[in-house]
Amino acid sequence: MINIYRKCEKSIDNIYGIKKIESLDEIDRPFLFCISPKEDDNSTFGIIKEGARACRVRTTDELSGGFKIDEMGALFLGFREENDGVFVDLVNDFLYPLLTRIKDINSIKKNARKMNFFVYCNGINIYKQIERRLYDLLKQDGYLEEQIVEIISQISLVSIAPNSDINNIIAAKVAFKDVCDRDVYDYTSKVAEKRLNRDGRMSTIGGVNNGAIYAYYGTGEHELKSYLKDENMVKSSLCAITSKFLENSIQNETTFELIPISKEFIIPIILKNNGEFEDVGVQLSKLDSTLQYGNVSKYSKEESDRLLVFEKSLKSDIHRL
């Protein structure tokens, strides 16, 4: 059995800022689906928050771009699977019905463009199982190989510290890899490290099938939060591509024709926002000023500070229980 959750504002009635999805009808807009390698509450809810931060939504950890999560034209989702290692239900009962609500190929591609994935470490292998199952179901329903690739290529994937190769994934994808992170050091890390040493650079961006790999010399910290530290040069590129994928999804809701994503969409965003060449804070400020999430209000610094006091009081109440 699959349990799907979405992030919302914290309140007296919902002190954790998490709601369980009870029906597919609640998934009425694009989403960022966040996958942790662990399936306990802290990991599931924690990675949803980090995904929202990467999209510059205000959280308890950071004002970011200040975007108000309850006004977003997108949902921030995560899941827990009660049957260890079995992800068939997630696709059969959730993702595939959303993808194929209308059966014609153009509508399915538009629905695929609503789907954005944000995964950490072994979450990449969970995503691979999801994509393979989507592929198999589309094939069973009679879609041609070329059509299936066109559909799945409109799903976006941001993979942080992946512990396996991403090249054969069909989705439009970006992987972020610290070559000093020995927990996920592999052939890709080795090749990137040689290139960095050869060129005397701190970062390198390599193209792969329908995507890119951003490899860099970091601190070697494997923890997800380390990738979103203000001093980490990768933060601006990571936030830019994650938020631009989501922005594209929201824009597609207002158009009849598909606004596609591809490798050509991805590479310029990564290059433009590379924190090796400009201060990360400056780049994020520029990003925040250009993001078009529709008519979404932003918290001011003062509003966010007041809200943080309220959230801390909720946390104190939890500890007193």
- pTM for this one? 0.95
- Which residues on adjacent β-strands are paired with residue 205? 214
pLDDT at 88: 85
Residues of the chain below pLDDT 50: 321
pLDDT at 295: 85
Residues 6+ apart with CB under 8 A from 9: 17, 68, 69, 70
pLDDT at 187: 93
Cα distance between residue 156 and residue 240, in whole Å: 13
pLDDT at 204: 96
pLDDT at 37: 85
pLDDT at 22: 93
Identify residue 258 by its one-letter amino acid code: L
pLDDT at 290: 93
- Looking up tokens 């801390």 gives 312
pLDDT at 130: 96
- Looking up tokens 């205000």 gives 58
pLDDT at 277: 92
Residue 142, Ramachandran bin (φ over 0: left; ψ between -120 and 50: alpha; else beta): left
DSSP state of 134: H
Give the chain's radius of gyration (CA, Å): 19
